[in-house]
Amino acid sequence: MKFPGKRKTKHYFPVSESGRIPFAPDFSDRGSVYIVGIDQLIVDIEANVPNEFLEKYKIQKGESAVLEDKIIEEIYRELKESDAIEGEFAGGAIGNTLHNYSVLSDSRSVALGAISKNISVGDYAFKYICTTNSFVDFSYLKPVEGAMGRAFCLLTPDRERSFAIGKGIMNELTPDFIPEDIVKGAAALLVSAYSLRDESSSMYKSNIAACEYAKKHNVPVVLSLGTSTLISSRPEFFNQFIKDYVSVLAMNEDEAFALTSIKDPLLSCEKLLDSCDMILMTVGPRGLYIAAHIDDQYKRETKDFIHSKSIAEYNKFEYSRAMKRKDCKIPLKIYSHINPYMGGPGVIKNTNGAGDAALSALLHDMSSNVYHRQVTPNSPKHVAPFLTYSSIHQVSKYCNRASFEVLKQNSPRLIKGLPAREESLEDAYWDT
């Protein structure tokens, strides 16, 4: 497994030799570290549209709407006829994150979901598998008769993203296709608020079954929030779900506001830390925040400037590593903020996938901690049951860098891993 941190030192512990990937990996092997994600497998279709297009189909700008299949087909035909489609990609928030995680770590991830039973060369299911990193394991998908779901990412002239989703078979996963032994051995279980939208669906029941397995076996549950409209429609439900199952919460500032009714990112993080262990919050052109807990005896003070915002000296202990609150004798809330890497790309055509990339970097750091604990259990790095291998300050840098890479390449998924040697840094940096 590649080490997730600073690019100056390439690896902090051994990297498995690259070679052929077996069809049937042994997940019980020592050193076999992986994450599991439950996804509504869909295809992302990106298109440029005028504001009137959203009004025509009654799609609220900046939000996500699930539409009937016949309307989705009508939208697709109109976009095709007007030559508005920019590209078609394997998509889904969880699918993007699993792909990015495997690109960054050179390690396995396991996808759970439903896919077309009969796959033909050139169809959406075929392209989805072909364009996803080969370390993403599709062995546990449920085969279902029918077409894959489609998500239209509609970009208006102001570059705001709005989504129109056609379900297809994306919600057909059933609890009997959730393998307890695979969830039990995972470094983390990744779920999405989108999959929790409908409590009567088998997809919802499958997510609950997986979260129950994770809770039973002490596997951290990572929840990626969807859109603010989805969260604001059921804030009580999502707040309770977080309290019951979630260890790590990933969201943007609008989703955080929908959840807490607090506009300030730091104060929103402070409140949510009462319900979960760690938070990744993206704040657009202002970068991102990471908030977590640390036991008072393991806190480490920053060597950087100490800043104050709505919370005085909020970053004072950002050199600390995250822990679960239940593992802290005297829990202390810690925060870190980082501005966009190198100020962000000169031109941002599309922000689709940037948050997923940031989350994949966080997951890589968490799984690396599990790997290192297995390989060197007596290391001083493991004097306490930390959630991350790196400090939250270092994790924020890594998340920031991965997010920048997606924004720079105008693709919702990483095409390649991060460089071992950053061109933006002077040669003297590498020689010290």
- Residue 431: the pLDDT is 45
- Residue 240: the pLDDT is 97
Is 80 exceeded by the pLDDT of residue 421?
no
Q: 216-235: per-residue pLDDT in tens?
A: 999 999 999 978 889 999 99
What is the β-pairing status of strands 109-112 and 35-38? parallel
Is 70 exceeded by the pLDDT of residue 16?
no
- Residue 167: the pLDDT is 87
- Residue 432: the pLDDT is 39
Please compute the mean of the pLDDT values over residues 107-117 and round it to a whole number.
Answer: 93
Contacts 24+ apart (CB under 8 A), 229-232: 229/60, 229/63, 229/64, 229/258, 230/64, 230/193, 230/194, 230/197, 231/193, 231/255, 231/258, 231/259, 232/258
- Residue 111: the pLDDT is 96
Query: What is the number of residues in the chain?
Result: 432
Is 80 exceeded by the pLDDT of residue 242?
yes
- Residue 90: the pLDDT is 81
Is 80 exceeded by the pLDDT of residue 29?
no
Closest CA to 183 of 129, 223, 220: 220
Please compute the mean of the pLDDT values over residues 14-18 and round it to a whole number.
Answer: 43
Please compute the mean of the pLDDT values over residues 134-141 and round it to a whole number.
Answer: 93
Q: Quick one: three-class SS letters along 158-179?
A: CCCEEEEEECCCCCCCCHHHCC
Computed over every residue of the chain, the mean pLDDT equals 87
- Residue 69: the pLDDT is 84
- Residue 407: the pLDDT is 83
Q: Give the DSSP per-residue string, 107-122.
A: --EEEESEEESS--TT
How confident is residue 148, by pLDDT bands cut at 50, 70 and 90? confident
- Residue 210: the pLDDT is 98
Q: 35-93: per-residue pLDDT in tens?
A: 999 999 988 888 999 999 999 999 988 888 889 888 998 999 999 999 999 888 887 88
- Residue 4: the pLDDT is 63
The token duo for 267 is 């104060």
Please compute the mean of the pLDDT values over residues 186-201 and round it to a whole number.
Answer: 94
Q: 390-419: per-residue pLDDT in tens?
A: 999 999 999 998 998 888 776 778 887 777
**Cβ atoms of 396 and 269 closer than 8 Å:** no
The token duo for 359 is 């989350």
Percent of the chain predicted with pLDDT > 70: 87
**Cβ atoms of 247 and 277 closer than 8 Å:** yes
- Residue 422: the pLDDT is 62
Q: 310-361: per-residue pLDDT in tens?
A: 999 999 999 999 999 999 999 999 999 999 877 665 555 556 678 999 999 9
**Cβ atoms of 289 and 281 closer than 8 Å:** yes
**Cβ atoms of 367 and 107 closer than 8 Å:** yes
**Cβ atoms of 229 and 64 closer than 8 Å:** yes
- Residue 346: the pLDDT is 53
Is 60 exceeded by the pLDDT of residue 5?
no
Is 60 exceeded by the pLDDT of residue 182?
yes
Please compute the mean of the pLDDT values over residues 362-385 and round it to a whole number.
Answer: 93
Is 70 exceeded by the pLDDT of residue 251?
yes
